[in-house]
Structure 1
C-alpha cells in the first residue's frame, strides 16, 4: 500500500515560529506516516529542536498547526499529547533508584499504567537483566533505553527523540537503532528522530525531512530505489561505446551515459537483468553491475549546499 493512502499520525501544516522580528521556522509542512522511523535533519540552527519543542508543547506556535492522531496541538493539546512519548535533551532519571523504581515513579503520574505494562516496556527495550540495578551503574546507552521505556509507558503512537545518539559509542548507537526498528515493526509506533549523524540516519530511518533556515528543503525516502522505483545503475564493460549503441537500438527509451569503460543508465530493478542479457547476447563482456544511488550525505549536501550538519 502506498503511504499516500495511509492517514499520517503526525501532520504539520504551515507552522511558523517568530521570536521578535526573527523567523525561526517558516511555514513548515510535512506528514509522518504510522509505523516508520522518520528522520529530521538540517544544518546548525535549522530549527529542528524548535520544531520538536512546538510538537510537544514546550514552545508556542506563532501560526499554523500540528495534528497528532487527528487532534490539534493548539486547540486540543491534552488529546494530541496523549499520543506522544518524547525525550527532548537527555532522559532525566533518579540515579540512586533502580531502573524499575524509576519506571514505577513515572507510572504513578500516568493514569492506568499497570505493573504488567511496566514489565512489557522493560521487555520491549530488552532490559530485563539490568532493570533492578541502580541507574548510577548504567552506561549512557542503558540510560537512553530506560528513557525510551519511560516514554512508552502510556502506549503512545509517536515516539519523539531529539538527538538520541549524542554521546553514545558505536555499539550503543547500533543498539538504539535496533530497538527503534523493533518498535516500528512490532508495535507499529512512529518514531521521529533528529540527529546530526548522517550515516546513522541513513541506517536508522525510513525517510527524512531536510530543513534549512527553518524551511523544508525536501522529504526523502531512504532506500536504494527511489519513490518511482528507479535507480542509477553502472555497468562496467569491455566496449562501452558499442554497448551504448547496441542498447540505443534495442531499448530506445533509455538515457545512457558513457564514462570510460562504464555505462550509466536509470533503470527499474527488473530492467537490470534485461540490459545485462542484451549486452551478453551482443558479445559484450560485463565485468560488474552496481547501483550508484547517492548516499544521504550526497543528497543533503546537494540540496542544502552546506557541510554544516547538526
Structure 2
C-alpha cells in the first residue's frame, strides 16, 4: 500500500443468508482526497461503509486504514476514522457544546480548545450553546461533522450527508470538505446527488449489485476526443462535407447543427471547410458527458 493511501478496501465480500451482498470489491482513498461512492438504491453503498467502520463483519477480504488491518487491530484502525452513517444522532435536550463534550470524553486527549476549533470550522460558533432540538437539519449535520472531527481523524466517512440539506447547506458542506482535504484529511462520501458529487469529488467509484463497475477521475479528461457542437445554418450540407473527411468520427445531427467527436486541433480545420463551402457557422463549443450521463450509461 502506498504511503499516501489512507484507506484500502481489498477484495471484500459480504454474504447474508447465503446471498452475496458485496462481491469482491476493491478501491482505495488517497490522502487529502474526496472520494465519492455512487450506486443505485440497494447497490451496497451503506453495507460497504458499515463494514469499513466496523458496524458489520466481513466474510472475505480485508480493509486497511493507515496501514492497519481492521481484522487484526480493530481499535487502532478505528482511531483514524471519523464517521456519520446515515443520520447524525445527538442528544436533543443538550446543547451542541454539551454533545461535543460528551463525545470528547470517550477518547483521551481531546481538549476544550479542540472543541472550539471544530465548532468554528463547521460554522456553529454562534449557535453551539443552543439546544440541539432548536437546530435545523443542516445545523445537525454540521454538528455531526464536528463530532466526527474531534479526534483529528485522517479519513472522514459520510453516508448520504446531503440528505435534507437546502442548496446553501450543500454548498457549505462542499466547502468544509474541501478545506479538510487541503489540510490533508481524506473523505469517503456517498450520495445520490450526482451533480453535487461531480462538484465535490476528486474521484468516484460506481457500485452496482455489489460490484465496483468503474472508478473515475473527475479532475482529469476522461476521453481523448472532444465532443464539439457546431451551430450552422445548413446542417445537412455541413454534415455531408464533414463526413467525407471525417468518416470514422461519430457525428450526430442536431436541429441547428451537429455534434462531432474530434481532436482539439481539428476544430479550426472543420470551421475552415464549412466557411469555404458556404455554410454559415454561428457558434462552436465543446461539451462533455456529465457524471450523471456516465453513471446512467454504466448502470443502465
> Residue 255 of structure 1 corresponds to which residue in structure 2?
249
Contact 2:242 / 2:270 at 8 angstroms: preserved in 1? no
- Counterpart pick for 1:217 among 190, 197, 213: 213
How many pairs are equivalent? 291
- Counterpart pick for 2:148 among 147, 151, 158: 151
Shift in CA distance, 147/19, structure 1 to aligned 2, threshold 3 Å: same
Q: Distance in 2 between matches of 1:301 and 1:293?
A: 15
What is the CA-CA distance between 1:242 and the residue it aligns to? Answer: 6.7
- Counterpart pick for 1:234 among 224, 229, 232: 229
- Counterpart pick for 1:296 among 270, 284, 291: 291
Q: Distance in 1 between matches of 2:67 and 2:261?
A: 43
* Aligned residue runs from structure 1 range 1-310, under 5 A: 7-185=4-182, 187-223=183-219, 225-226=221-222, 230-237=225-232, 240-241=238-239, 244=242, 248=246, 255=249, 257=251, 259=253, 261-267=257-263, 271=264, 274-282=265-273, 284=275, 285-305=280-300
Contact 1:224 / 1:293 at 8 angstroms: preserved in 2? no
Normalising to structure 1: TM-score of the pair?
A: 0.85
Once superposed, what is the RMSD of the aligned Cα atoms? 2.5
What is the CA-CA distance between 1:177 and the residue it aligns to? Answer: 2.0
Contact 2:12 / 2:25 at 8 angstroms: preserved in 1? yes
What is the CA-CA distance between 1:20 and the residue it aligns to? Answer: 2.2
Q: Distance in 2 between matches of 1:223 and 1:266?
A: 21
Unaligned 5+ runs, structure 2: none
Normalising to structure 2: TM-score of the pair?
A: 0.88
Contact 1:234 / 1:265 at 8 angstroms: preserved in 2? no
Q: Distance in 2 between matches of 1:243 and 1:123?
A: 62
Unaligned 5+ runs, structure 1: 306-310
